[in-house]
Amino acid sequence: MVSIVVGPVILAIMGAFFGLLYLGIDRKLVAHMQGRIGPPIIQPFRDVGKLLMKESIIPDGALSWLFKLAPILCLMGSAVLLLYIPIFGQKALLEDFGDAIVVLYLLIIPSLALVVAGFSSSSPYATVGAQREMVIMMSYEFPLAMTIVAIAWRIGHVAETNPFMFSTVATYPIWSLVGPMGVAGTLILLIVLLLVTTGELSRIPFDLAEAETELAGGLLVEYSGRNLVLFYIADAIKTFAMASLIIALFFPYSLSPVVGIEALVPAFVVDALFFLLKILLVMFICVMLIRAAMARFKIDQVSKIYFIAMTLISLVGLILIWVDLVM
């Protein structure tokens, strides 16, 4: 009972802490890649502290209750994700109550909250940003669902329990089920999911909804002070959750059995550190490398990439896994 009440709060705080930490690492590494020194790793915490000191303005034309509600919704939507996705190599808190499909639905909530925020602030920039966010949301949803379903479908052939459960995915890691063809297929699906993550988190090159240069901050253009902080933290938590999702689906391994540590606490520490390392690797590929290397796409290019290219590529991955199964 206590864990149901206290657990989510602790999880949200931990998610925010590590999310902000990873944002700091992201900024530092990208700066190094661009030949700059970059801000210190704790910079996002300083930004949060600073934003808390600022005045929160609610524009005259805005729908004020919705304008104030949207950031809270966004933060809660992101925090709830952490209840269902296994993190730190442990079981998720509400693992028995939800599976990958629930996560698929929950992932929409923060984006929807952003759209609501954009429309309720009654600024033309924010409206355009909200429309773009909706288009991107609809575009990446299909390849995302396809990837998750493909993995679960393959696991469903060997597992007796619900293959969408993260515990099932962890018991039957996808890589050990498939042959060479299937490994190629799984690799393709992994790449698709990594690129979907970039869009899901609206990072360059898919950051059209916030496009600093053309939309002046897009969705968040009217937000300031405390309300902006909530979005900032929600973004950090969502980043952390998305990286955890990839790890839960593709790399559900823990280190402690391998190195032979059995005592409860040391095993937990080893697993947690290993998990943080995995998150760093995932983020390095899908956020940092791409961000440092690319410029922003146009909105029609984004939907083409996701709707046509990514869907076809994930289909190829699915077919490879299927061929591997029947042969």
Pick the closer one to another protein by CB: 31 or 315.
Answer: 31
* Burial class for 105, CB neighbours closer than 10 Å (0-12, 13-18, 19+): exposed
Give the span between the Cα atoms of 327 and 318, in whole angstroms. Answer: 14
User: Considering CB under 8 A, how many residues would be counted as binding another protein?
Assistant: 33
Which residue of 63, 108, 191, 216 would you call a contact of another protein, by CB under 8 A? 216
Pick the closer one to another protein by CB: 36 or 91.
Answer: 36
Read off φ and ψ for residue 158, nearest 5 degrees.
-110, -25
Pick the closer one to another protein by CB: 54 or 91.
Answer: 54
| Residue 225 C-beta: closest distance to another protein, Å | 6
DSSP SS3 for 274:
helix
Interactions with another protein, residue window 106-135 (CB under 8 A): 125
Pick the closer one to another protein by CB: 43 or 131.
Answer: 43
| Residue 59 C-beta: closest distance to another protein, Å | 9
* Contact partners, residue 97, CB within 8 Å, separation at least 6: 84
Give the span between the Cα atoms of 242 and 201, in whole angstroms. Answer: 8
Hey, what are 195's tokens? Answer: 């690129």
**Read out DSSP for 189-249?**
HHHHHHHHHHHHTT-TTS-TTT-HHHHTTGGGTT--HHHHHHHHHHHHHHHHHHHHHHHHH
Pick the closer one to another protein by CB: 22 or 223.
Answer: 223
Which residue of 117, 221, 241, 287 would you call a contact of another protein, by CB under 8 A? 221
Side chain identity, residue 3: S
Which residue of 122, 225, 253, 272 would you call a contact of another protein, by CB under 8 A? 225
Interactions with another protein, residue window 6-35 (CB under 8 A): 27, 31, 34-35
Q: What letter would DSSP give residue 306?
A: I
Which residue of 228, 230, 287, 299 would you call a contact of another protein, by CB under 8 A? 228
Q: Which stretch binds another protein (CB under 8 A): 42-50, 83-91, 245-253, 268-276?
A: 42-50
Interactions with another protein, residue window 46-85 (CB under 8 A): 46-47, 49-50, 52-57
Q: Which stretch binds another protein (CB under 8 A): 100-108, 184-192, 215-223, 280-288?
A: 215-223
Rg (CA), the chain: 20
For residue 139, give Cα distances in angstroms to 79, 135, 281: 24, 6, 25
Token pair 């303005």: residue: 57
Pick the closer one to another protein by CB: 113 or 228.
Answer: 228
Hey, what are 246's tokens? Answer: 């990839």
Side chain identity, residue 140: Y
Which residue of 1, 2, 37, 295 would you call a contact of another protein, by CB under 8 A? 37
230 binds another protein (CB under 8 A): no
* Residue ranges in contact with another protein by CB under 8 A: 27, 31, 34-40, 43, 46-47, 49-50, 52-57, 125, 212-213, 215-217, 220-225, 228
